[in-house]
Amino acid sequence: MKILFTTLHAKYSHASLALPCLAAYCRTIPDVAVVIREWTTNEPREQLLRHIMAEQADMVAFSCYIWNIEKTLRIASDIKKIAPDTRIVLGGPEASFNIFELMHENPAIDFVIKGEGERVFHRLITTLVKHGGGNLLERSLGEIDNLYFRDGDDITSGPLGKHFLELDTVPSPFEAGLVDLKKPLIYYETSRGCPFSCAFCLSAAEGHVRSFGPERITSDLTLLMGHKVGTIKLVDRTFNFDAQRANRIWDFILEHNRGSHFHFEIAADLLTEENLTLLKRVPPKTFRFEIGVQSASETTLLRVGRTANLGRIFETVQRLRAETAIELHLDLIAGLPGEDFTGFLASLRAVADLNPHVIQIEPLKVLKGSAMREIASRDDYHFSGFPPYTILRNPWLAFADISRIETIGRLLDLFYNHDGFTATLALLRRSIDTASLFDRMARQAGNDNLSGLSTRRVYELFARLAGPLVDDATRRLLHDALFFDYCRHEMPLMGKLPSFAAERQADCTWPAPRDLPNPPDLPADSRVKAFRCTFFRDYRCEEWKNGAVGITFVYASGAGRGLQVLVV
């Protein structure tokens, strides 16, 4: 039997973790060959179908998520029409709920595995190998926990329950060579489950937290760091559920890391003094913490079962920002019970005051299988019936409010999250707080298309949205600071300055690198250009000095190094 494990990613840069874990658990079954193929949702369905059929697999197993379920079901239907004897299996979060309905509406699906898949999939394959099409097949399938299957014209299942896998029984997919370590981003897990019971999250349904053993974790991390993987993104739902365990892993990484960047999802209020002391040792550009604040309203959080100490979260984030070099990514969810638009802005204001590196806003997704579905039914929520099940309105937010929040989130991603507007935002925040600023810019943007903009167009968009919010004198300084920020990220072209700086041509020169009084020390193969402009203030200093100052920007690029901008 040949099994094709496959999934459709949202981005090419991602590498699956679920599929290699399944393959590692099943690869020793006699007379079974496994192969993993990964594609993206952006590829044409006809091309994906040709790739899948070329494998000539006896079984195709899809890992299903909100971003790929609709395309996956269409492909599965086509596979069955081409090769009716090919068995099709679905697993993953988006296939684990409303399964009878899913299989009834999609007759191409032969099996669905609910929840954790390794042991269930192993038992399914060994049963098929043993019984094939024999009379004992259906009876044997009915003994497999959390497996849904077709029995003639009926859809049935084995016993349903939570039988948690001993994680160290799953062979390492990294040691088995089943993960493409050349990808720039590799997913990794050290635990499964979550200690919290938030209504909006599927992790609450799993509950019980289990960790891989320390030897397995250090072995995997040693392999990943040894391959110098660019970004290792840990998918643990709450990495620091055990503070001492977290410290041991962080300490091991700091001792053995060879240039990898690590992303952790943590609960800030669970960090201890010992954690904070260790985290002061983290070098810049090494750790990124994603912290789900979700709302600054304790009442709202209580209504969705989110047990969090907001005061402790804010205090800890302030300390992380002041005392460590860790990149901080704070999340908010718009549309939680009891939080209207004014309340949302208050949550955004509280988070922005912490000055995190990234602020992520997501409208609530009422996921299948989450407790939020019951709350939504009770509280008159209206949400899309199609993935990703985004909220459309509720008693506290109209559709227009949600649309404006989505625009605020997009503007934050354009203007705040990539460190491209440091001087400009610092100038504006002297007179207007971040939440009010982005709300007012979102009103200016209306229904404009904010996607696919070049760097220059993004800065011109900022000038257009923020300009009407200030008086003439401040607007002159705004354009000055904005031009400084622009020059830090892209070299202005002679005769093609951004529209808000068009009148600055006389202040600009493009000196040859050899004419720089103190040329920077750069690799010999660098391609170097320079630009100089006179600004109203010296934005290089933390305390800006009034008075005209000439500032030179050096733009250096080289093979494999990208663009480096030096402000001298």
Instruction: Give the CA count within 13 Å in the CB-facing half-sphere of 396.
Output: 16
Give the mean pLDDT of 145-169. Answer: 91
Residue from 404, 418, 495, 421 nearest 459 by CA: 421
What does the pLDDT look like over 345-379, one tens digit per residue? 999 999 999 999 999 999 999 999 999 999 999 99
What does the pLDDT look like over 41-68, one tens digit per residue? 999 999 999 999 999 999 999 999 999 9
In the sheet with 147-151, reading across from the earlier edge strand, the strands are 33-40, 2-9, 59-63, 87-91, 111-113, 147-151, 154-157
Confidence of residue 107 (pLDDT cuts 50, 70, 90): very high
Residue 105 confidence (pLDDT) above 80: yes
H or E stretch covering 331: strand 327-334
Residue 561 confidence (pLDDT) above 90: no
Mean pLDDT of the chain: 94
Residue 205 confidence (pLDDT) above 70: no
Name the DSSP class of 390.
Answer: B
Indicate whether this model's pTM tops 0.75. Answer: yes
Beta bridge partners of 530: 554
> How far apart are alpha carbons 542 and 560 in whole angstroms?
32
What does the pLDDT look like over 246-265, one tens digit per residue? 999 999 999 999 999 999 99
Residue 342 confidence (pLDDT) above 90: yes
Q: Return the amino acid letter for 289.
A: F
% the chain with pLDDT above 90: 84
Evaluate whether 416 touches 369 at the Cβ level (below 8 Å): no
Residue 115 confidence (pLDDT) above 80: yes
